[in-house]
Amino acid sequence: MSDLPGASETVNLNIQEEAHALSVTIGTYNEKGIDISKLLGTTGHVTLDPGFKNTGSTKSAITFIDGINGILQHRGYPIEQLAELASFQEVMYLLLQGELPNANQLADIEGQIKAETKAPEGIKTLLNALPDGSHPMGMLSVALASLPSFYPNALDSWSDETVRWETIYRLLGHMPVIAAYVYRRSQNLPYIDPNPELDYVSNFLYMMFGEVDPVIADALDTLLILHADHEQNCSAATVRMIGSSHVNLYAAIAGGNSALWGPLHGGANQKVVEMLESILADGGDSEKYINKAKDKADPFRLMGFGHRVYKNFDPRAKVIKAYADKILDKLNVDDPVLDIAKRLESSALNDEYFQKRKLFPNVDFYSGIIYRALGIPVDMFTVMFALGRLPGWVSQWKEMRESGDPIGRPRQIYTGASKRDYKPITDR
C-alpha cells in the first residue's frame, strides 16, 4: 500500500529504437497506471484497447475493487460493513460527500430528499402516453430524460452550488417515485403517491405495493447498498462520458440508465430468472444443466455465476445470500423456479469444476431470486438495480466535474478503404 496516492515513477516505451519516458501514477493500494495522455503528440502512436479493459479513464476516490481477492470498498469502507451496519441513505451521503454522516448530516440529507419525493404530475401523463407493454427500463429512461423539461434551471446547475445540490437531491428524491410509477404503469395499476411519513425504502415499497413489510424493507435497503456503486463499470463510465460534455445531470443519468439496461450489465439478473424458467420448462433437471455448463462443446452458460471483475467470490454475493435465505424463509414461497435456483447454487458451490474456476453465484444470481420471491416482474429487475446505482452515478458525475476532466473523445485505428475517387452512378 502506497503512503502517497498519486506519487509517480516512470517507465520507458521504446518505439523504433527511441525511448520515451512515461510517468506512472500509483494508487492507494499500489495500483499502477501508465500515463499515455501525451503519447500521440510525442510519438505519433495511440494505444488500442477494445472495451478499455486495460485503460484507466480517470483517477477516482469513490470505489476500490480488487477482483483477485474479492474486495469492494466505498471511500475505504468494506462493502460487508456498510451492508450490515449502514442504511442506504448513509451510503448515499458517503458516496457524495466522501465521509459517513453524523446524526445531523444524515437527518439533513434525509430531509432534503424527502422534500423532493413529489414528482411532477406530467411524469404520469408521459408514462400513460407510452404504449402498453413498454419495457420498464425504456419507460424509466424516457422519464429521466424528461426531467430537464420540468426543471429548466438544471440545464446549467454546475456553476451555482445551491442549484447543483437542489438538482442532485431532486433526482435522488424523484427516482424511487418514478421507478414505482413505472412499475404501476407496467402492471396497468393506479398510481400510488408517496407517503411523507415513511422512510426512503419503505416509501418506495408503499408506492409499489400499497403496503410495507419491515423484513422486506430491510432486505431491499441492503440490496440497494450492494448496487450503489461499482467503480468504472459500463453505466458509470457512460455517465462520466456524457457528463464530460457538460450536459445537465438528468441527461447524463438517463444515458447511464440506458447503458445499464443491457443483458451484459444490469440486465443480468433478469437473464438469471429467464434461464431458471427455461430449465423448468425443460423438465427442471438442474443437474442436466450443471453438466451442460461444464461441457465445452455445449453453448449453454449458467447466468449469474462468476463475474467479469471478481476472480474469486463476489463480496456482495456473500452478503446477499443471507438475505435471500431470510426472504425465502419469511415468505414461505412455493416456487419451482426458486427450487431450481437453490439446487443450482448447491451444486455449483460443492462442485470441483466450479470451485477450481471460481464460478460462484454472484450478486445478480441472488438479487434475481429475491426480486422474484417479492413478486416483482422480471422486466422490472433492472429498474431496481438502477434505483440502487443512482447515488453512484451521481457521485461519479460530481467527481468528474470537480476534477475538471476533459470531454471524452477516444481515438481509433482506421481499417476501412483508402482514398477513392467518386464516380457518377452511370459508371458504377
Q: Are residues 65 and 114 in the same domain?
A: no
Distance CA 128, CA 144 (A): 15
Residues 6 or more apart in contact with residue 94 via CB below 8 angstroms: 74, 75, 77, 82, 86, 100, 101
In a domain, 414, yes or no: no
Report the CATH number that the domain containing residue 114 is assigned in CATH. 1.10.580.10
User: Distances in Å between the alpha carbon of 403 and those of 26, 111, 397, 407?
Assistant: 18, 28, 10, 12
| Nine-digit cell string for 153 | 434551471
Give the per-residue pLDDT at 343: 86
Q: Are residues 151 and 31 in the same domain?
A: no
Q: Are residues 55 and 87 in the same domain?
A: no
The model's pTM is 0.89
In a domain, 407, yes or no: no
Give the per-residue pLDDT at 270: 80
Among the three residues 39, 72, 105, which one is the final residue of a domain in this structure? 72
Give the per-residue pLDDT at 320: 83
Give the per-residue pLDDT at 359: 83
Distance CA 423, CA 206 (A): 66
Give the per-residue pLDDT at 123: 98
Of 229, 230, 307, 314, the catalytic one is 307
- Its domain, for residue 38, covers 21-72
In a domain, 104, yes or no: yes
Give the per-residue pLDDT at 1: 41
Q: Are residues 268 and 322 in the same domain?
A: yes
**Does 45 qualify as catalytic in the annotation?**
no
Of 221, 229, 314, 364, the catalytic one is 364
Contact call for residues 11 and 22 (beta carbons, < 8 A): yes
Q: Are residues 193 and 341 in the same domain?
A: yes
In a domain, 116, yes or no: yes
In tens digits, the chain (428 residues) has pLDDT values of: 444 455 568 999 999 888 999 999 999 998 899 999 888 988 989 888 888 888 889 999 999 999 888 899 999 999 999 999 999 999 999 999 999 999 999 999 999 999 999 999 999 999 999 999 999 999 999 999 999 999 998 887 788 899 999 999 999 999 999 999 999 999 999 999 999 899 999 999 999 999 999 988 988 999 999 999 999 999 999 999 999 999 999 999 999 999 999 888 887 778 888 898 899 999 999 899 999 999 999 999 888 887 777 777 788 888 888 777 778 888 887 778 878 888 888 887 888 888 888 888 888 888 888 888 888 898 999 999 999 999 999 999 999 999 999 999 999 999 999 999 999 999 98
In a domain, 171, yes or no: yes
Distance of CA 305 to the CA centre of its chain: 17
| Nine-digit cell string for 151 | 426543471
In a domain, 193, yes or no: yes
Give the per-residue pLDDT at 226: 94
Strand-pair category, 8-15 with 63-66 = unpaired
Q: Are residues 41 and 99 in the same domain?
A: no
Q: Are residues 211 and 123 in the same domain?
A: yes
Contact call for residues 379 and 319 (beta carbons, < 8 A): no
Distance of CA 83 to the CA centre of its chain: 16
Q: Are residues 135 and 57 in the same domain?
A: no
| Nine-digit cell string for 321 | 445470500
For 90, list phi and psi in degrees, rounded to 5: -65, -45
Question: What would the 3-class secondary structure string for the chain be?
Answer: CCCCCCCEEEEEEEECCEEEEEEEEECCCCCEEECCCCHHHHHCCCCCCHHHCCCCCCCCCCEEEECCCCEEEECCEEHHHHHHHCCHHHHHHHHHHCCCCCHHHHHHHHHHHHCCCCCCHHHHHHHHHCCCCCCHHHHHHHHHHHHHHHCHHHHHCCCCHHHHHHHHHHHHHHHHHHHHHHHHHHCCCCCCCCCCCCCHHHHHHHHHHCCCCHHHHHHHHHHHHHCCCCCCCHHHHHHHHHHCCCCCHHHHHHHHHHHHCCCCCCCHHHHHHHHHHHHHHCCCCHHHHHHHHHCCCCCCCCCCECCCCCCCCCHHHHHHHHHHHHHHHHHCCCCHHHHHHHHHHHHHHHCHHHHHHCCCECHHHHHHHHHHHCCCCHHHHHHHHHHHHHHHHHHHHHHHHHCCCCCCCCCCCCCCCCCCCCCCHHHC
Residues 6 or more apart in contact with residue 99 via CB below 8 angstroms: 75, 93
Distance CA 195, CA 189 (A): 18
Indicate the number of domains in the chain.
Answer: 2
Q: Are residues 195 and 171 in the same domain?
A: yes
Q: Are residues 186 and 53 in the same domain?
A: no
In a domain, 318, yes or no: yes
Distance CA 80, CA 65 (A): 13
Q: Are residues 168 and 307 in the same domain?
A: yes
Contact call for residues 302 and 293 (beta carbons, < 8 A): yes
Q: Are residues 265 and 397 in the same domain?
A: yes
Distance CA 369, CA 276 (A): 10
Distance CA 393, CA 210 (A): 29
**Does 364 qualify as catalytic in the annotation?**
yes
In a domain, 36, yes or no: yes
Among the three residues 72, 87, 106, which one is the final residue of a domain in this structure? 72
What order of strands is seen across the sheet that includes strand 77-78? Answer: 63-66, 71-74, 77-78
Give the per-residue pLDDT at 53: 84
